[in-house]
Amino acid sequence: MDKKEYTVEELKNKIDRSRLPKHVAIIMDGNGRWASKRFLPRNFGHQEGMERVIEIVGAASNLGIKHLSLYAFSTENWKRPLDEIQGLMKILVQYIRRELDKLHRNNVKINIMGDINKLPELAKNEVERAVKTTCKNTGMILNIGLNYGGRDEIITGIKNILKDVEMGKISIDDIDENTFKSYLYTCDQPDPDLLIRPSGELRLSNFMLYQVAYTEFWFSDILWPDFTEKHLLLSILDYQKRNRRFGGI
């Protein structure tokens, strides 16, 4: 990008709509640090982070992104203090109750990545309600990683393949990349074209390890509660400048 400061509308006009990433993944990071910088409890950062989720989901849908994956709560996040985990689960319930009707009206389909059986009962019930309500929608697919880990997803997929081989549903010779993908949480979806990680960290943190083999990464020092539609547009413009060869020349 040149040094000129563009407005959101100007950035939208610069984007080539014929070359949008089909699938954008985001590691939403920096909520706790955002709160700490303001001498606030960490859950204030998570609350503000929810506002960014609402903004970015709407912006991605309006732009025409077909698949959006958000890393909300990892298998490793259970190591955090109990009060923070409880706060995160309350925010999850709040998000669903506040936004589900709008998501449904906008034809967004919610898909969960992760084992939600380990969530508190209220959060689990609300997540199941959101999935059921939007299951027939045909617009943007919103993948939400809850109790999600990339390694766990791969191991779970392998176990389910072995079960189906044992039951005679498939043979070992049937197993190829496409077969394996069908056992992942993102089955029938394209791999992410673009992965965004704000907060200054330069790692995947166990997110979509199988799916990001040829994904373009966009890193930023911006903490997630400060990440806006403008930053999403900047990341897409940067993505559109890249030459994706997928191992070719």
- For position 169, what pLDDT does the model report? 96
Q: 179: helix, coil or strand? A: helix
pLDDT in 10s for each residue of the chain, 249 residues: 456 789 999 999 999 999 999 999 999 999 999 999 999 999 999 999 999 999 999 999 999 999 999 999 999 999 999 999 999 999 999 999 999 999 999 999 999 999 999 999 999 999 999 999 999 999 999 999 999 999 999 999 999 999 999 999 999 999 999 999 999 999 999 999 999 999 999 999 999 999 999 999 999 999 999 999 999 999 999 999 998 777 766
- For position 1, what pLDDT does the model report? 45
Residues 1, 237 contacting (CB under 8 angstroms): yes
Domains with residue ranges and CATH for the chain = 18-148+192-240 (3.40.1180.10)
Instruction: Give the active site residue among 29, 31, 111, 191.
Output: 29
pTM comes to: 0.95
- For position 243, what pLDDT does the model report? 87
Residues 224, 37 contacting (CB under 8 angstroms): no
Tell me 184's DSSP state.
S
Letter string b/e over residues 193-216, b meaning 16 or more CB atoms within 10 A of that residue's CB: bbbbbbbeeeebebbbebbbeebb
Known active-site residue 29: yes
Tell me 176's DSSP state.
S
Q: Which helix (H) or strand (E) holds 46?
A: helix 42-63
Torsion of CA 199, 59, 2, 224, to 10 degrees: -10
Instruction: Give the active site residue among 13, 31, 77, 221.
Output: 77
Known active-site residue 62: no
